[in-house]
Amino acid sequence: MWADVMPTARIAVLSGPNISREIAAGLPAPTVIASTDRDTARAFQVLVGTRMFRAYTNDDVVGVELCGALKNIVALGAGAIDGMGYGVNAKAGFMTRGLAEIARYAFSSGANPLTCAGLAGFGDLIATCTSAHSRNRSVGEMLAKGATIADITRRLGGQVAEGIGTTQTVHALAAAKGVEMPIAAETYRVLFEGKSVREAMRGLMERERGEELSGPLAEVSRLLRLTMEEARRPD
């Protein structure tokens, strides 16, 4: 991450539901600019923000960076669901559990779990998993229809689907950290061990059932409850 490479520099990172073709066409879009230095974040907010490109600031650089990277893994699976014709319910559930997985990893790396519910997390996840212009979603769809990685690389014509490399890296890091990431694990098996998409989906569906709100999501729920209780208190 940039903050690790340049710890003394005043840096800012930009992420969010930013499909480049739409922004280039002048369509409305939001984004988030993260920096630990408030003045730096605001300077970039003024620099890049327009009437059609609404920029918000955030001080969680780690969370914004991780959300921007990890959502590409989920997008691969979302595309595979499209390619298999599994329907809207399956895709919505997969995206939601994918967001929980992103939050677990981000929280273990020191990120604010609330960042995952914002533009860099939830917002970017929706855009990347649903847009016809999303390379990662398209790669997942091609995988589900039987294309090999070599075929896909050729079809991309020099463009990069970041989710492939991210899956390989995060799979190893999650194991080292002891973070449970079943979606990333199954995606790794499809990409690098030859497991079929159908078998991977079956593996996810047959996992042991647990509570929906656990780990960082439980922490988000607690923080939201405290915020609501504080708002209700008389001055």
Residue 204 lies in a domain: yes
Q: Of 111, 114, 128, 109, which is closest to residue 219 (Cα–Cα)? A: 114
- For 186-214, what is each residue's pLDDT tens digit? 999 999 999 999 999 999 998 766 676 66
Residue range 52-77: mean pLDDT, rounded: 96
The confidence score (pLDDT) of residue 3 equals 56
Residues 6 or more apart in contact with residue 179 via CB below 8 angstroms: 104, 105, 108
Residue 35 lies in a domain: no
Is the model's pLDDT at 7 over the cut of 70?
A: no
Tokens of 20: 């480049």
- Split at pLDDT 50, 70, 90, the class of 231 is low
The confidence score (pLDDT) of residue 157 equals 79
Residue 152 lies in a domain: yes
Is the model's pLDDT at 51 over the cut of 80?
A: yes
Residue 92 lies in a domain: yes
- Split at pLDDT 50, 70, 90, the class of 227 is low
Range of the domain at 139: 61-222
- Split at pLDDT 50, 70, 90, the class of 46 is very high
The confidence score (pLDDT) of residue 60 equals 95
Tokens of 165: 């490399």
- Number of independent structural domains in the chain: 1
User: Does residue 126 or residue 8 have the better pLDDT?
Assistant: 126
Is the model's pLDDT at 77 over the cut of 80?
A: yes
CB 2 within 8 A of CB 61: yes
Active site residues: 71
- For 141-160, what is each residue's pLDDT tens digit? 999 999 988 888 888 877 88
- For 153-185, what is each residue's pLDDT tens digit? 888 877 888 999 999 999 999 999 999 999 999
Residue 17 lies in a domain: no
Is the model's pLDDT at 233 over the cut of 90?
A: no
Q: What is the CATH number of the domain that holds 200?
A: 1.10.1040.10
Residue 50 lies in a domain: no
Residue range 37-59: mean pLDDT, rounded: 95
pLDDT > 70: what percent of the chain?
84
What is the chain's mean pLDDT, rounded? Answer: 89
Q: Is 211 left (phi over 0), alpha (psi -120 to 50) or beta?
A: beta
Residue 119 lies in a domain: yes
Residue 157 lies in a domain: yes
Is the model's pLDDT at 69 over the cut of 70?
A: yes
pLDDT > 90: what percent of the chain?
74
